[in-house]
Copies of this chain bind each other. A is one copy, B any other.
Amino acid sequence: MGNPRQSIPLSFTVGHAPSPSEPPPEFVPATVPGAVQLDWARAKEWGPWWYADHFKDYRWMEDRYWTYRAFLPEPLPSEGSLFLVLEGVDYACEVRIDGARIHAHEGANVKAEIPLDGRCKAGSLLEIVVFPAPKSRPQPEDRSQADRSVKPAVSYGWDFHPRLIPLGLWGAATLESRPVRHLLSTDIDLILSDSFEAAAVEFTFEQVEAGLVRFLLFDPDGKAIFERKKDLPEHDRISFGLKKPRLWWPNGLGEPVLYTWTFEILGDSGEILDRAQGRIGFRRLRLVMGEGSWNEPSRFPKSRSAAPMTVEINGKRIFAKGANWVLPDVFPGSLGAQRYREQVDLAADCHFNLLRMWGGSQAPHDAFYDRCDERGILVWQEFPLACNRYPDDQAYLDALDHDSRHLIRRLKPHACLAWWGGGNELFNRWSGMDDQSHALRLLNRNTFEFDRQRPFLATAPLTGMGHGHYRFRDGQTREECWAIFQRSSCTAYSEFGIGSISNLDVLDAFLPEPFRFPPNPGTPWQTHHAFKAWEQDSHLYLPDIAHYWGACASLPELVEKGQRMAADGMRGLFEEARRQKPLASMALAWCFNEPWPTAANCSLVNWPCKPKASLQAVAQALRPILASARIRKYRWSPGEVFDPELWLLSDSPRATGSGRMIATLTLGDLECARLEWSFKSAEPSMNTQGPRLQCLLPAIDVDNLLLSLQVEGHPDWESSWKLPFGPPTPTEAFQPSTNA
């Protein structure tokens, strides 16, 4: 009884059959975590799944029953209890030992801990039968097939995701030998005092039998600052207070300080029988009403005010900036800590402080949240509902209830976890859910029951929030994205993006040579989302590129122009959202990453982790302090009055100090205008609105105008804008896009 918990690896093979009762005729080696598709392709020596239209070869796999097989070791551990632990099965499974069914569940977030004592022997055959992808109906073959399951809908086909539905063991599957007296669960709650000078810690645990336990809390330097060692019952709570806890702050606002705890179940002679550990961050996060939000509505009949969307952390209101995160691979099981770390680091280096885990995708592994804890990236975590009408149906609600409880339990300890969201765009026409939908009332209940300190947003957008646009110019109205934002007054811009072409090396990697240039519909350009992904032109938007620069002669030129348009656009949008502070308090790009190599997409980062030009531009726009300009439109012509309004934007926890900004407008070698602005020191995190430069643009034959904003003594705050310049563009010949 002295042996601690032991994890025993299993070696799996996998095969498929048309029904759960038929044994697969062939088995191939399986990688766990992984996906059945990857295993099969590897065994059959297929080329990369992401090349050209290879993904279509995988279509049949979604409807098969996939059986993972492993033999239990000989001999089995002789002491303690034996469990099969499934960290994540995508999506529904049945577990058999020597042919007898011992377990079944559905939901990729469910962690199954299946007792094996008395149900197996050394050398027993373990089978995990993974069911076909859930489908509520055979047709149409799109995301609506996922509307009665908690399988994220993205892989059924999306405007940036091929139809390729991953299946299999996306989390570890191991045999665990546990001491008889082992730990069943832990939970930890932290409540900060109103002054943030003290914290109450409540650690709850459940063990199989009463006995001696030890809880230790270590400060960020590794020093034990609290210890309790005591005989305690099966289910108990250890509560204590902590003075002057070092606070966890999001990126850019302070250090994301983490403490560590350990909990041990001790044997009679003090030996460690079982053990758990975790990290915690002391912070209090609320969603509060933005300044000015209560002033609206002002006239009768009066509706409600906007939903609270300003992040208040540790008593400070911040501007939340970041992006929507989607799973960075079609196959979640292929993602490891390294990829998560790269992605989160990219986001943090870009001055992000918030990522929205979009509900169309699956919640990633712990490694993602661990890195967010470490880098101070807040996570808005949505449940797997997106752009579908999930029904008030008991079987569905039961699955959602079960799956969501597991997800809440898994993610609750993370300091980075900011709030829960019901899912994506559920209160819009294309979803058709509403405030009365039982799925959302259930999620509201579960988060309230099990993680009450965290906010819950039924969906996004809510009242006051805005989603879109997703292109540089509207397809019908031709209104440019900058102008759209300048006339808007959202409290939170929780999605906006600009479709743009991918990096040249990304395109070269998956495009067969005959299709390389020019891009055409009906080729891998289209299956990789350059055409008809959402609108007719999306996400490549050739007509918009042509509108500003004329036709491109080569692929490199197209990449350069297309990425420039998106980069300039996104930079201007982020700056405009910041200028609207404090009424606006959030700006999140759609989207950060992508699950495979797209030909064109709104992503800032190409698959697997390659920054596009937009990412660098967004990083510019999100510097804590920067010189900024409100510019009415993108392209300028001789005879027009160029009239940017100067701003000094600050999200910094420091005052800016007073200073001088010099704006110069240059056309070729000619300095056309110059404006000096002496600004006063702004309070921490306050923007300053400056004067407007005005200049009648002369007729000079150059392709760009250059606006340069310099701040004396602060080269890191400087900004410049290179905008297309030339004669007025001719009437546009191309057909208006139509929304999908």
Contacts and interface: CB of A to CB of B under 8 A. Distances in A.
A301 B435 contact: no
Nearest to A430: B294
Interface stretch (A146-154, A460-468, A645-653): A460-468
Interface string A424-440: 00011100101110100
A394 to B, nearest CB: 10
B466 A438 contact: no
Interface string A413-433: 000000000000001110010
In the complex, the count of this chain's copies comes to 2
Interface string A486-524: 001010010010000000000000000000000000000
Interface centre among A286, A287, A444, A469 (most CB of B within 10 A): A444
B469 A434 contact: no
A251 B214 CA distance: 67
Contact of A444 (B445, B457, B465, B496): B445
A287 B457 contact: no
B303 A436 contact: no
A370 interface: no
Contact of A304 (B288, B302, B461): B461
Contacts of A295: 429
B490 A301 contact: yes
A353 to B, nearest CB: 20
B304 A427 contact: yes
A493 B428 contact: no
A449 interface: yes
Contacts of A429: 294-295, 305
A301 B445 contact: no
A303 B434 contact: no
Interface centre among A300, A455, A468, A485 (most CB of B within 10 A): A300
Given A434-B308, A455-B436, A463-B463, A300 B441 contact: no
A301 B428 contact: no
B459 A448 contact: no
Given A301-B467, A445-B449, A484-B300, A435 B462 contact: yes
Interface centre among A441, A457, A465, A484 (most CB of B within 10 A): A441
Interface string A553-589: 0000000000000000000000000000000000000
A189 interface: no
B304 A459 contact: yes
A469 B298 CA distance: 12
Interface centre among A303, A462, A466, A474 (most CB of B within 10 A): A303
A301 B438 contact: no
A452 interface: yes
Interface centre among A302, A432, A448, A474 (most CB of B within 10 A): A302
A617 to B, nearest CB: 20
A434 B289 contact: yes
A170 interface: no
A456 interface: yes
B307 A466 contact: no
Nearest to A444: B444
A583 to B, nearest CB: 14
B301 A466 contact: yes
A668 B222 CA distance: 95
A200 interface: no
Contacts of A458: 435
A673 interface: no
A387 to B, nearest CB: 13
A452 B439 CA distance: 11
A274 to B, nearest CB: 33
Contacts of A304: 427-428, 459, 461-463, 465
A442 interface: yes
Nearest to A419: B436
A125 B432 CA distance: 61
* Minimum-distance CB pairs A-B, first 5: A301-B466, A300-B468, A304-B427, A294-B429, A300-B469
Given A301-B488, A436-B455, A436-B456, 9 more contacts: A295-B429, A301-B484, A301-B485, A301-B490, A304-B463, A305-B429, A435-B458, A435-B462, A441-B444
Interface of A: 286-289, 294-295, 300-305, 307-308, 427-429, 432, 434-436, 438, 441-442, 444-445, 448-449, 452, 455-459, 461-469, 474, 484-485, 488, 490, 493, 496
5 contacts: A300-B468, A301-B493, A304-B428, A435-B457, A445-B448
